[in-house]
Amino acid sequence: MNKKIIIGLVVALIILISLTIFLPLLFRSKTQPQYQLPTTVNQTIKEKLPYETSDFKIEYSVTQNKVVATKKTSQAGQKIDQWLTDNNLSSIKNKPDVFVIKDSQESDLAGNPEADKYLSPTINPSITMMATPTANQNAQLLVDLLSILLNLGNVNITDSSGTNNINQLTPSPPSGALVYYPQCGGSFDNYPLSSDCNICKAGCGPTTVAMIVASYADKSVTPKTIVDLYKKKGYLLGCVGSRYTDAKSALASYGIKTTDYLTYSYATIDQAAADFKNYIKNGWTIFALANYCDGDCGHFFWITDVSANNDTWAYDPYYGRLQKPPYNEKSRYPFPKYRVAFGVKR
């Protein structure tokens, strides 16, 4: 593609999307509602969460504005009561506006972070259809479109010093020629997770596992291979997504080393970076579960490096599919908001 044509398209896109970003801001109320813990538990519980054992876990739900306990085993109810007693919190047990108990591991699930809201499986999977886009979504759309145009045109953009800047967006992957698979726009989009769902719709978990296994253990492994393994093992798969506990087990079945869980209460990268950097310094990479909105936008991806200023380079099966990996997750700050992570190593 002609370089002048690409530059013209880039300028037009900047003008168009800038208007959609800044015009709404002129009419937006300056006061935005903030999520806060109920005042009755604000000081007592916030510093104790999240907490997790093999029987249960307790965390703060931003979407419900409540403390949520999730049962894992039949003994969980008794264990939760004991934890509340030990922490002088028994008084909140019968306050449904503050505290709820769930009988499933729904909070462990993650699928495609935007599929249910924006992406129809009958539409070209390389195009994200958005309903009432936010300013942040429009800004990221601009970045994604610029990346596509630059990659198509093979344009060499330089600054005034003559330094090539494109590598700041798409740095070379870490040594070892890691394998990347997209969950949409690749060869496995329509492979079924269940009767009503496929990899493109909600397959970020198996796709992330496949990237790690193909990079560290067996290059023949694909997302299809891992989905078949999940089905054989009876792991959860479907439009609700998949579980990080099953991902950890699948990785271990290929001889890949994993660490204990790091659990967070919707932490930003600035809050989680010190942990990640310490693991990476010692030879680990990071399997991560994080949210991409203040709702149920759970998503799995594989972090391979974190820079000094907390740029978070990841092999992301969904957001990273439009450019050469790795993808900088921090470009969506304050998202992703981290919930669970663990180290992985050959």
Q: Which DSSP string do the residues of 96-134 spell out, in sequence order? A: TTTEEEESS-GGGEE--TTHHHH--TTS-TTS---SS--
Q: What pLDDT does 246 receive? A: 96
Angle at 178 between CA 333 and CA 145, to 5 degrees: 45
CA separation for the pair 207, 223 (Å, rounded): 5
Low-confidence residues of the chain, pLDDT below 50?
28-39, 116-137, 144-145, 147-175
CA separation for the pair 208, 205 (Å, rounded): 5
CA separation for the pair 138, 17 (Å, rounded): 6
pTM above 0.85, yes or no: no
Q: What pLDDT does 113 receive? A: 78
Strand partners, 68: 59, 100
- Under a CB-based contact definition with an 8 Å cutoff, are residues 340 and 107 in contact? no
- Under a CB-based contact definition with an 8 Å cutoff, are residues 109 and 298 in contact? yes
Q: What pLDDT does 2 receive? A: 67
The residue extents of the domains of the chain are 46-104, 173-345
Q: What are phi and psi of 271, to 5 degrees?
A: -85, -30
How many other C-beta atoms lie within 10 A of the C-beta of residue 205?
Answer: 35
pLDDT in tens, 239-272: 889 999 999 999 999 999 999 999 998 999 999 9
CA separation for the pair 51, 235 (Å, rounded): 24
Q: What pLDDT does 164 receive? A: 35
Q: Which residues contact 135 (CB under 8 A, 6 or more apart)?
A: 21, 22, 24, 25
So what's the architecture of 173-345 in CATH? Alpha-Beta Complex (3.90)
Q: What pLDDT does 44 receive? A: 59
